[in-house]
Amino acid sequence: MCGIVGYIGHQNAYPIILNGLRRLEYRGYDSAGIALYDGENIQMCKTKGKVDDLSAKVNAEMATAGNLGIGHTRWATHGVPNDVNSHPHVSNSGDLVIIHNGIIENYTTLKKELVKRGYTFHSDTDTEVLVNLIEEIKKQENVKLGKAVQIALNQVVGAYAIALFDRNKPDEIVVAKLGSPLAIGIGEGEFFVASDATPFIEFTNNAIYLEDGEMAIIRLGREIAVRRIANDERVDPSIHELQLNLEQIEKGGYDHFMLKEIYEQPSVIKDTYRGRLLPNEGIVRLGGLEDHLEKFANANRIIIIACGTSWHAGLVSEYIFEEWARVPVEVEYASEFRYRNPIITEKDVVIAISQSGETADTLEAVKLAKRKGAFVYGVCNVVGSSISRETHSGTYTHAGPEIGVASTKAFTTQITVLTLMALRIAKVKGTMSHSDYMMHLRELELIPTKVAQALKTNDHIKAVAREFKDVSNFLYLGRGYNFPVALEGALKLKEISYIHAEGYPAAEMKHGPIALIDENMPVVVIAVNSNHYEKVVSNIQEIKSRNGRIIAVVTEGDTTVTEIADYVMEVPKTPEALTPLVTTIPLQLLSYHIAVMLNRNVDQPRNLAKSVTVE
Ligand code: AGP
């Protein structure tokens, strides 16, 4: 998730774009850049680091270059954060310059063809391929920039919000959108383009939000021409008069980043499997895994090291890897692993899971595992982070920046990557029937829709939260794949509401915790379709007979648990191994609403940091 900003009008473009980038830094902040038209050429400055690092490098001449420009603050997905991979990117001729938020899945194929035609590339990005594809089409077809963009985008597979201009036509900016947000601000004799309205809300509150598959040619002194990319059909855009303030826009209109990130899960799960899950071809393809499949297929053991929510994601994957790939898995707290002098051999494969990629305990555990000869694979969200650089290879989640301290979309995108890995390894080992493999490929592709469906129960969950906001303790119970989800649900509640909560395997109740049950101890039970369902029903009855109050997460349409639980939260039916991706949703929302009702600082709870870079 990156931030894009563009300006064309009667003002000096630089300060507007720079300030706009600062407002979009919450979307991505590992590198930044700006390109300005100076009346003849394109002046460009870009750098690894934050927008402040960029502004420190822009000279006075560039800062007053002119009235047309584009800027970008990056959250890397292809190519590590460095100056060269930063946006904007210029075409080989130097005429075209582009910024891009999204992922072009087929960029390697497009790049090979362009190289054959003599194009050279300086970065590792998919974006540089796109701007040269547009240049090649513009030259070959002898068409204007807008037409070349339209033809090029019909050859592209992926997601994008782009803005670009041609130094030979400095009275227009061309923009296009598919899968990533893009807003156009309409001022008096000036236009703004941005990922959201924060960069231009102080200049105008009139905005057009392009729909997926639309592009626009923005010309000074002319009406904006909006068209459908697929067929060039003209679109009559609606102009919105924005009533939001800055802070509300940064949070996408949500009250907290945590709620925004909970609601981003359908799109970021799709971004995470985009280009990697190909059900029609019946394949899973993970760039970082393909060259190391034999290590995983022949591994004696997979050791997963992580902390907190990432450890819970690892625990979910233990059940999946063992069930599908038939490989023994051990899930270790990194903080324990690194001090335990663990026995590791070169036949062991280690997976390090970390959203930030900077957790000190996990980083040190990775180094220890490497010293002991293990192959270490990373599942991180931040490209170029310390852990991602320390591991031998890895797969990035494409969750975008997670601002809320409580991990939500990190959890579901980590599970998505781990599920893809288990499918890929099972396929190589032949440990999964073809029908089972194909069924799970197709069902995984449906998860974003099912998560979106689970999110629709938000109002009901808020009502349940109101019943329990004043309790002092909670128990969370789950079995099998949902035992780790019970742990994660308990962690979410305690870290943002400060209510004590414990997660347990449901069957463990008889071995002590049931002594805690009375009318003051609410119990959240994950009771969805599973091989354990009847046993979970018995657990619920044991609790009810001791006056415990039950909040059950059930599969929609459930008629058994619904009869005995005090409250139910429904999730769509999905194969048992994929249920953690949906059962966690009501638990995230329950914790969020209880914390809000208790007036907690939801995005920055007391005593916590987003990334624990100290030991
Ligand atoms: C979870 O909500 C917490 N933010 C915390 O447990 C977190 O998951 C843990 O610190 C690990 O962080 P990482 O994924 O960035 O390594």
Measure 276 CA to ligand 1 centroid, in angstroms.
Answer: 25
- Domain span at residue 131 reads 3-248
Per-residue pLDDT at 610: 80
Closest residue by CA, ligand 1 atom 5: 308
For 464-500, b/e burial (b = at least 16 CB within 10 A) is bbeebeebeebbbbbbbbbbbbbbbbbbbbbbbbebe
Query: Considering the entire predicted model, what is its pTM?
Result: 0.81
Whether residues 223 and 285 fall in one domain? no
List, for residues 38-78, the tens digit of each pLDDT value. 999 999 999 998 899 999 999 999 999 999 999 999 887 76
Q: How far apart are CA 39 and CA 54, in angstroms?
A: 22
* Any atom of ligand 1 within 6 Å of the Cβ of 307: yes
Per-residue pLDDT at 2: 86
Measure 310 CA to ligand 1 centroid, in angstroms.
Answer: 6
The CATH number of the domain holding residue 603 is 3.40.50.10490
* Any atom of ligand 1 within 6 Å of the Cβ of 405: yes
Closest residue by CA, ligand 1 atom 4: 406
- Catalytic residue, chosen from 2, 45, 307, 380, is 2
- The predicted model gives 231-252 an average pLDDT of 85
Whether residues 278 and 402 fall in one domain? yes
- Catalytic residue, chosen from 144, 367, 544, 610, is 610
Per-residue pLDDT at 349: 98
Per-residue pLDDT at 400: 87
Q: Which atom of ligand 1 is nearest to the CA of 387?
A: 16
Whether residues 105 and 181 fall in one domain? yes
List, for residues 60-69, the tens digit of each pLDDT value. 999 999 999 9
Closest residue by CA, ligand 1 atom 16: 354
* Any atom of ligand 1 within 6 Å of the Cβ of 414: no
Last residue of a domain, one of 227, 248, 269: 248
Last residue of a domain, one of 452, 473, 498: 452
Whether residues 47 and 108 fall in one domain? yes
Whether residues 134 and 224 fall in one domain? yes
Whether residues 241 and 313 fall in one domain? no
pLDDT at residue 86 tops 80: yes
* Any atom of ligand 1 within 6 Å of the Cβ of 604: no
Specify whether 45 is catalytic: no
Q: Which helix or strand (DSSP H or E) is residue 501 part of?
A: strand 500-505
Q: How far apart are CA 580 and CA 556, in angstroms?
A: 15
pLDDT at residue 8 tops 90: yes
The total number of structural domains that make up the chain:
3
List, for residues 325-375, the tens digit of each pLDDT value. 999 999 999 999 999 999 998 899 999 999 999 898 999 999 999 999 999
- The predicted model gives 414-426 an average pLDDT of 98
* Any atom of ligand 1 within 6 Å of the Cβ of 305: no
Confidence of residue 382 (pLDDT cuts 50, 70, 90): confident
174 within 8 A of 215, measured Cβ to Cβ:
yes
Whether residues 120 and 227 fall in one domain? yes
pLDDT at residue 245 tops 80: no
- Alpha carbons within 13 A on the beta-carbon side of 10: 7
pLDDT at residue 161 tops 80: yes
Measure 10 CA to ligand 1 centroid, in angstroms.
Answer: 47
Chain centre distance of CA 273: 10
Measure 259 CA to ligand 1 centroid, in angstroms.
Answer: 17
Q: How far apart are CA 224 and CA 221, in angstroms?
A: 9
Q: How far apart are CA 292 and CA 392, in angstroms?
A: 10
User: Using alpha carbons only, what angle is made at residue 422 by residues 327 and 441, rounded to the nearest 5 degrees?
Assistant: 145
The CATH number of the domain holding residue 18 is 3.60.20.10
Q: Which atom of ligand 1 is nearest to the CA of 406?
A: 2
* Any atom of ligand 1 within 6 Å of the Cβ of 407: yes
Whether residues 264 and 241 fall in one domain? no
pLDDT at residue 443 tops 90: yes
Closest residue by CA, ligand 1 atom 6: 308
Whether residues 177 and 279 fall in one domain? no
Whether residues 35 and 119 fall in one domain? yes
Whether residues 406 and 263 fall in one domain? yes
Last residue of a domain, one of 452, 476, 498: 452
Whether residues 46 and 96 fall in one domain? yes
pLDDT at residue 549 tops 90: yes
* Any atom of ligand 1 within 6 Å of the Cβ of 406: yes
Residue (of 27, 35, 29) closest to 49 by Cα position: 29
149 within 8 A of 215, measured Cβ to Cβ:
yes
Specify whether 610 is catalytic: yes
Q: How far apart are CA 569 and CA 564, in angstroms?
A: 13
* Any atom of ligand 1 within 6 Å of the Cβ of 329: no
